[in-house]
C-alpha cells in the first residue's frame, strides 16, 4: 500500500510546488517508487519545475473525465527511474476534479507506488481539500512570517477535521513542519519569525528548514528539482529533510546566521 503525502500550506507562494518536486525526487532517488500529482488545476506549475512540460499530453482532468487512461497521463522522469509525474491541466476549471475521480486515481496508483505526493493548490477551497482528503501524512510548508504561520495553523485544523482519516475516526494524518525560505540574517534582525516561535505556534514535529537560496529560482528555470543541485544549501537541506522523513536522524543546518569575523563585529557598520 502506498503512503499518500500531501504538501500543503493554506497560503500561496510559500514553496509547496518547489518542495513537492524536491521531495518526490529525493524519495525516488532513495529507490522509493514515487509519483507526484499536481492538484493545482488552472495553474499547472509542477511540470515546469520538474522539466517535463513539453511531454505533457494528458492530465489528471483527462483521466477523471475518462478521456485518457492513467498510464497515458503519467510521465516517467528521465533522470530518476522510480519517479513519475501526473500533471494538472492548464485550461480546465477546478470543478473538473471530483472526490470519486481522485479516489480512483489514488487507488490505482497505490498498486504500483510506495509514495503518492499531492502538490496542493493554495487556499482551503475544493482543490486544496481534495489534495489533502486522502492523505496519510502531511508536509505543512510555512514561511517565517505571521500570515503564513496563521494559514498553516488553519490548514492543520482542516487536516484534523476534513481529511478521510478524520472522517473515519482513524489515526490522524501524520503532520510534518517544513519551514522554507528561511533567512537567518533577517530573523536575527527581527524581520522574520524565529524558528522557535513558529514551532511553538504550530507545535508539530519539524521535518526541515530550507534556506532562502537563489539556486531555487535557477533550478526551476532549468526544470531541475533543486534537490539535484547538491552544491546548493537548499538542495542539501531538502536532502536532509527527505532523510528525516525516512527515519534518519540529521542535525538541522543553515539555521544560524554566519558569524562575522572579529573585525567586522568590532567595526562593522560603524566605519565611515
- Which chain residues interact with ligand ADP by CB under 6 A? 9, 12-18, 45, 180-181, 210, 212-213, 216-217, 220, 234
For residue 58, the number of C-alpha atoms closer than 13 Å in the C-beta half-sphere is: 15
Q: Which is nearer to ligand ADP, 14 or 105 (CB)?
A: 14
| Shorter beta-carbon distance to Mg ion: residue 11 or 16 | 16
Q: Does 16 bind Mg ion (CB under 5 A)?
A: yes
**Nearer Cβ to Mg ion, position 39 or 182?**
39
Q: How many residues bind Mg ion (CB under 5 A)?
A: 3
Cβ count within 10 A of residue 33: 17
Taking the complex as a whole, how short is the minimal distance between the CB of residue 11 and ligand ADP, in angstroms? 7
**DSSP characters over 240-252:** HHHHHHTT-----
Q: Which is nearer to ligand ADP, 245 or 254 (CB)?
A: 254
Integer Cα distance of 230 and 227 in angstroms: 7
Q: State which of residues 9, 17, 148, 220 lies at the interface with Mg ion (CB under 5 A).
A: 17
In the three-class reduction of DSSP (H, G, I as helix; E, B as strand; rest coil), residue 235 is classed as helix
Q: By Cβ distance, which residue is nearest to Mg ion?
A: 17
- Which partner from the list Mg ion, ligand ADP, none does 8 bind, CB cut-off 5 to 8 Å by kind? none
How far is the CA of 44 from the CAs of 37, 52, 90, 106, in angstroms? Answer: 10, 12, 6, 19
According to CB under 5 A, which residues from 36 to 55 bind Mg ion? Answer: 45
Q: Which of 106, 15, 41, 51 is nearest to 220 (CA)?
A: 51
User: Using CA atoms, how far apart are residues 148 and 14, in angstroms rounded to an integer?
Assistant: 8
∠ CA 119-16-149, rounded to 5°: 125
Question: Least separation, in Å, of the C-beta of 216 and ligand ADP?
Answer: 4
**Residue 14 binding result from Mg ion, ligand ADP, none, given CB thresholds of 5 to 8 Å by partner type:** ligand ADP
CA 19, 20, 22, 24 torsion-angle sign: positive
Which of ligand ADP, Mg ion, none does residue 131 bind to, with CB < 5 to 8 Å depending on kind?
none
User: In whole angstroms, how close is the CB of 215 to ligand ADP at the nearest point?
Assistant: 8
Q: How far is the CB of 233 from ligand ADP (least distance, A)?
A: 9
The radius of gyration computed from the CA coordinates of the chain, to the nearest angstrom, equals 19
Smallest separation (angstroms) from Mg ion to the CB of 253: 25
Partner that binds at residue 268, options ligand ADP, Mg ion, none, CB closer than 5 to 8 Å by kind = none
DSSP helix/strand/coil, 135: coil
- Our CB check for ligand ADP shows the closer of 7 and 105 to be 7
Choose between 17 and 236: whose C-beta lies nearer to ligand ADP: 17
Instruction: Report, in Å, the least distance between residue 257 CB and Mg ion.
Output: 29
Q: How far apart are the C-alpha atoms of 211 and 137, rounded to whole Å?
A: 23
3-state SS class at 221 = helix
Q: Shortest approach of ligand ADP to residue 267 CB, angstroms? A: 31
Residue spans of alpha helices (H) in 113-163:
126-133, 146-162
Return residues touching Mg ion (CB under 5 A): 16-17, 45
Amino acid at each position: 500500500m502506498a503512503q499518500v503525502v500531501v504538501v500543503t500550506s493554506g497560503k500561496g507562494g510559500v514553496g509547496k510546488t518547489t518542495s513537492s518536486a524536491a521531495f518526490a525526487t529525493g524519495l525516488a532517488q532513495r529507490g522509493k517508487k514515487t509519483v507526484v500529482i499536481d492538484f493545482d488545476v488552472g495553474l499547472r506549475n509542477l511540470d515546469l519545475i520538474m522539466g517535463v512540460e513539453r511531454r505533457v499530453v494528458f492530465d489528471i482532468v483527462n483521466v477523471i473525465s475518462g478521456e485518457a487512461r492513467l498510464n497515458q497521463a503519467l510521465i516517467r522522469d528521465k533522470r530518476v527511474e522510480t519517479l513519475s509525474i501526473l500533471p494538472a491541466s492548464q485550461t480546465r476549471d477546478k470543478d473538473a476534479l471530483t472526490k470519486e475521480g481522485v479516489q480512483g486515481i489514488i487507488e490505482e496508483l497505490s498498486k504500483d507506488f510506495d509514495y503518492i505526493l499531492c502538490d496542493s493548490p493554495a487556499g482551503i477551497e475544493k482543490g486544496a481539500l481534495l489534495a489533502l482528503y486522502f492523505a496519510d501524512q502531511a508536509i505543512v510548508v510555512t514561511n517565517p512570517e505571521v500570515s503564513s504561520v496563521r494559514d498553516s495553523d488553519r490548514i492543520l485544523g482542516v487536516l484534523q477535521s476534513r481529511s478521510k482519516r478524520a472522517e473515519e475516526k482513524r489515526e490522524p494524518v501524520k503532520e510534518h513542519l517544513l519551514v522554507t525560505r528561511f533567512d537567518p540574517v533577517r530573523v536575527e534582525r527581527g524581520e522574520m519569525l524565529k524558528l522557535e516561535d513558529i514551532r511553538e505556534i504550530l507545535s508539530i514535529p519539524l521535518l526541515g528548514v530550507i534556506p532562502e537560496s537563489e539556486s531555487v529560482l535557477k533550478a526551476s528555470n532549468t526544470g531541475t528539482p533543486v534537490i539535484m543541485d547538491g552544491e546548493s544549501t537548499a538542495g542539501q537541506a531538502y536532502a536532509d529533510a527527505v532523510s528525516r522523513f525516512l527515519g534518519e536522524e540529521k542535525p538541522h543546518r543553515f539555521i544560524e546566521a554566519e558569524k562575522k569575523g572579529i573585525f567586522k563585529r568590532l567595526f562593522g557598520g560603524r566605519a565611515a
